[in-house]
Structure 1
Amino acid sequence: MATDVNDRNAVIAEQNDLVRAALADPKAFKQVNAQGIAFKLVWTPGINEAFLLTGKIKPLAKAIAAFDAFETDDDPYQERDFAALEVEGTKVYFKFDYYNLTMDGGSEDPADPAQTVRVLTVMLPCEY
């Protein structure tokens, strides 16, 4: 895996982008699987109520997949792992966390898919 911090951050960012793209694009989902990138998607009760139960989950997935306006304050390591956006008039946050394969602790190397399960949590700001 990449050893330079900037290289590692770039690898993590690319993997995060691919996972986000996989939410709305079957080709990206196949790439995630082909690269062995494990991930779980978690959404909070507020997201369930605001998007799933109202039939707006597809616009939410597409907005997260397409998002590219990362700000330095929200993404200081340039891993594209956190953002705030507005979807269908509702402010939403998404955040990646990196766990080891047994999900009982953090990943020792989030750039290495062989050691990492990404958890993408989608939430309302009041649930952060």
Structure 2
Amino acid sequence: MSGDSYHFGDNVNMHGGMGNTGIDKRHMMAADATAASAALQEAVRELHRLIDDLHGRLPPASARTLEDSLPAVTADAAVQPQDRHRALMAIAGIATTVGTLGQPVLDAVNRILQLLGAQ
């Protein structure tokens, strides 16, 4: 039809001025994002507890790797997703090598990855 107008995506109009930067996307947090965040925080706390239980049963090199990985395993958005993922994979690898002792840790890692949408 003549005269119909369709627009998809961003529309930016700037009329003079200085220091104009960025686009305000007006992103809103979904209602269940808070619940997901709470679930993620709980899953991270559980993983830390399970790692504390496992730590003393590991060879020193594996225990050190767990210690080095823990700072990146947080629900904090300031941690880079690739750093968090790398740390979770290192923890999962150690948990896998110790068999049934590490199964709860491996389950906790998988739960976190699922909450993050990485699985």
TM (norm. structure 1) is 0.32
> Could you state the TM-score of these two structures normalised by the residue count of structure 2?
0.34
Greater gyration radius: 2
Structure with the higher fraction of residues in helix conformation: 2
> Whose RCO is larger (CA < 8 A, sep 6+)?
1
